Every structure is written in structure tokens, then in C-alpha cells.
Amino acid sequence: MLGRLRQMLIKEFLHVIRDKRARFFLFAPPVIQTLVFGYAATLEIKHVPVAIVDYDNSQVSRDLVSRFQASRYFEVRRLADRREIPDLIDRDQVIMALQINSGFARDLRKGETAHLQVIVDASNSNTALVGLGYVNQVAQGFARQYRIEALNRQAPGVAASLPEIVVERRPWYNPDMTSQWFFVPGVIGNLVLVIVVTLTAFAVVREREIGTLEQIMVTPIRRTEFILGKTIPFFLIGLLDTALISLAGTLWFRVPLTGSLLVLTAGTVCFILCMLGVGLFISTVSATQQQAMVTSFFFIMPAVIFSGFGSPISSMPLLLQRLTYLNPLRYQEVVLRSVYLKGVGFDVLWPQMAAMALIAVVMLTVSVLRFRKSLE
């Protein structure tokens, strides 16, 4: 058995080594995609293009405008007439527009409410909400400073005795709250999922489509040996790609690996076994490589969306939250980020690993049984 299995493994590795395109696409794209995702995927929104129309044109209003100009979150564009706003928003040249009405400074001096109108392009609701939050921060900071200065002029004693709350931030695990530290470990799970699932599904379907599957099955090799010979190389490739992507994330983006390599490896092994089961299952329901591609896409996209990679699972509808428990990537994202940033071990992550191990056993069992049946 070992001799036949060894020959099967040699065949698969030779196929990869001799194919220049296969060698390139197995190792270069994951590293490149890690770099691209590391820079492109971010929770921060900076340099928001905003137009400002100042009809008050007072010292107070100019001070408020200067605060927006000094903020790293805004790229300010001054306008003379509010009628320019719709065209700029339609052309995506600005996302927000602020209008300071005449009498803004007068209302503040009288102690009345001074209104700042904010027009926002809400077609991208996430950007709109974050942008409005930035505007509120600047406006509230300006209002607070104005009140303090007014009290210091009118009643210095009262101003000095006003109570104040100071928020002292102590962010754990990511002191600078860098979004790359959150996304880069998550990218590892996403890329390994794509690589292992597509390789496993396409390799078997390709053998069936070109007619070599029947030739292999008339040889003395057994079905179990054939399945192992097809999956073990992709298991090893998945581990190697994980190491390359992790190395790129650690060295290039300076994401600290504070946890144990043993814990990270154990979680990765469980996850890759899950993906091998999924890939084998796709191969049993696909007759051509086109069908395998469509079926893989049908699995990969929901798996990434329901993993908590980009948006929190807690914000999803309750039914979808429960469905995420069937998604191995959900558990792997927790393992990756916890090992990288928090440095936790098996005592904390054993539920995630147990869940992935259970899913791997079920998927591999079902897939192997279906695969054996499809070969008969």
C-alpha cells in the first residue's frame, strides 16, 4: 500500500513541479494577495472629500472650518454656492457637504443653538455613518472649546470649577488600533480556503474530464490510496502556503505573532482538513472543471462573508448567526487572530479546534463515501 501511495504522491508533486504556471499560481498569488489585502482592507476611513459652504464668513465659522481642514480624516473643498453640491456628489467628487448658515456666530454669542447642516451621500451607508461620526467629533470638540472660552471670559471661577470627564484609552492587543493587525491574520484563513478547496476540487475533476481517472482506476491502486494520493499533496501545499502568508504578514506588516506556533499549526491542520473535505465533496457533484469552479464560488463567497472577516457576526440576523456555526472559517478566524494578537493557547481555543475537527470528520467521511460511490 505504501509503495502505491508513494507513487501516487510522486505523480501529483511532479505534475505541480513541471507545470510552471502551477508553481507560480500556488505560491506567488497568495503572497501578493496578502500584501494587497493588507493595504486595501481597512476599517478606517481617511481623507473623506467634503465640501464646505460658509455663508456666515465670521471668525467663529472660519475657526470651525480650519478644524476640518486640520483633521486627517477630511479633504476640504471650499464652495461659494450650495447649488454646486448636488453635481459634486453625483460625480463622486465629494461624499459630504457642510453648510454654515448666516448668523452662526451670532447664535453662539447669544447662547442659542447654532445649526450646522450636513449633507451626506448615503449610497454607501458605512462610509456615511463613519463620516458623520468624524463630523460630530470635530463639531463637539469645537462647541466644547467655545463654551470653555466663553465661560473664562465671563466667569473664570465657574469655568475652573466645572466637572470634566477624561477618557483614558487602554487598548489591549493592538495598542495603536491598526486595522492591518486585524485584517492580515484573517487574510491567511481566506486565502488558504480558496487554495485548498479549488485545488482539491479541480484536480479530481480534471482527471475525470480528460479521461485519466478511468485509466488510474484499472491499475492496482485502491480507491483509498487514490483519495489519499490526491489530498495529501494539497494538505502539504496548504501548510506551506499558510507559512508563506504568515511570514509575509509578520515581516512586511509587522503583525506580531505573540502566541504559540504549535497552537497555530494545530488550528491550521484542522482547518485544512475541513477544506479538503469540502473540495472532495465538490468533486463528487461536479462533472467538469466549469461546474467545479461555479460550485467552489458558491461555497467560498458565503464562507468569507459569514466568517466575521469584514463585518461582525453579531450584527447579522439571528438565523444567519446560527448558520455561521457550520462555517469552519468562522472558527479559524478566531484561532488566527487570538494566536497572533492575544497569545492565547489550547485552554482558550479548544472549542474552536474541536468544532473544526468535528466538521472535518463529517465532511471527509461524507465526501469520501460519495467519492468512492462515484468511482464505482
Q: What is the tens place of the pLDDT at every residue in 80-112? A: 888 888 888 888 888 889 998 888 888 888 877
Distance of alpha carbon 16 from alpha carbon 26, whole angstroms:
9
Most confident of 45-49, 292-296, 323-327: 323-327
300 touches 199 (CB < 8 A): no
pLDDT the model gives residue 331 = 94
Average pLDDT, the chain: 81
Residue 257 scores a pLDDT above 70: yes
Position 25 scores a pLDDT of: 66
Max alpha carbon distance in the chain (Å)? 98
Q: Report the percentage of the chain scoring pLDDT > 90.
A: 14
Q: CA-CA distance, 107 to 87, in Å (whole number)? A: 31
Does pLDDT of 219 surpass 80?
no
Does 278 or 202 have the greater pLDDT score? 278
Please tell me the predicted confidence (pLDDT) of residue 166.
Answer: 72
Count of alpha carbons within 13 angstroms of residue 319, beta-carbon side? 0
Q: Can you name the residues that pair with 79 across neighbouring β-strands? A: 53
pLDDT at 327 (0 to 100): 92
Between 4-13, 109-118, 139-148, the lowest mean confidence (pLDDT) is in: 4-13
pLDDT per position as a tens digit, 239-256:
888 888 888 888 888 888
According to DSSP, the β-strands at 48-54 and 96-100 are parallel
Does 297 have pLDDT greater than 70?
Answer: yes
Lowest-confidence segment of 19-33, 111-125, 283-297 by average pLDDT: 19-33
- pLDDT (mean) for 130-147: 85
Per-residue pLDDT band at 367 (split at 50, 70, 90): confident
Q: How confident is the model at residue 148, as a pLDDT?
A: 76
- For the residues of 18-59, what is the DSSP string, one character each? H-HHHHHHHHHHHHHHHHHHHHH--S---SEEEEEEESS-SH
Name the band, by pLDDT with cuts 50, 70 and 90, for residue 213: low
Q: Which three cell numbers stand for residue 360?
A: 472535518
pLDDT at 311: 78
Question: What span, in angstroms and rounded, lies between the C-alpha atoms of 97 and 353?
Answer: 49
- What does the pLDDT average to over 152-180? 72
* Distant-in-sequence, close-in-space partners of 339: CB < 8 Å, separation ≥ 6: 257, 258, 259, 260, 263, 264, 267, 349
| The pLDDT of residue 368 is above 90 | no
Predicted local distance difference test score (pLDDT) of residue 2: 59
Residues 61-94 as b/e (b if ≥16 CB within 10 A, e otherwise) read beebbebbeebebbbbeebeeeebbeebbeeeeb
Per-residue model confidence as pLDDT tens digits over 226-241: 777 777 888 888 888 8
Closest Cα partner for 305 from 340, 333, 277?
A: 333
Q: What is residue 283's predicted lDDT score, i.e. its pLDDT?
A: 83
Cell of 101: 448658515
| Residue 133: its H or E element | helix 125-154
pLDDT at residue 274 above 80?
yes
**Residue 157 in this model has a pLDDT that exceeds 60:** yes
Name the amino acid, one letter, at 254. Answer: R
**How many whole angstroms separate alpha carbon 68 and alpha carbon 53?**
13
pLDDT for position 47 = 82
Query: Of 258-262, 340-344, 372-376, which range is least confident?
Result: 372-376
**Mean pLDDT, residues 318-347 taken together:** 91
Domain with CATH 3.40.1710.10 in the chain: 48-161
Strands 116-120 and 74-79: unpaired
Strands, E assignment, the chain: 48-54, 74-79, 96-100, 116-120
What is the structure's pLDDT at 334? 92
CATH fold label, 48-161:
abc type-2 transporter like fold (3.40.1710)
* C-beta separation of 45 from 73 below 8 A: yes
Q: What is the pTM of this model?
A: 0.78
Does the structure show a pLDDT above 80 at 72? Answer: yes
More confident residue, 43 or 106: 106
**Residues 57, 141: Cα–Cα separation, whole Å:** 20
CB 76, CB 218: distance < 8 Å: no
Top mean pLDDT of 201-205, 270-274, 315-319 is at 270-274
52, 76 contact by CB (below 8 A): yes
Give the pLDDT confidence score for residue 215 in this predicted structure. 61
User: Which residues touch 319 (CB under 8 Å, ≥6 apart)?
Assistant: none
Does residue 275 surpass a pLDDT of 80?
A: yes
Which pLDDT score, from 0 to 100, does residue 250 have? 84
101 SS3 class: coil
Report the helix count and the strand count for the chain, using DSSP H and E.
15, 4
Q: What residues form DSSP beta bridges with 48?
A: 74
Distance CA 95, CA 124 (A): 9
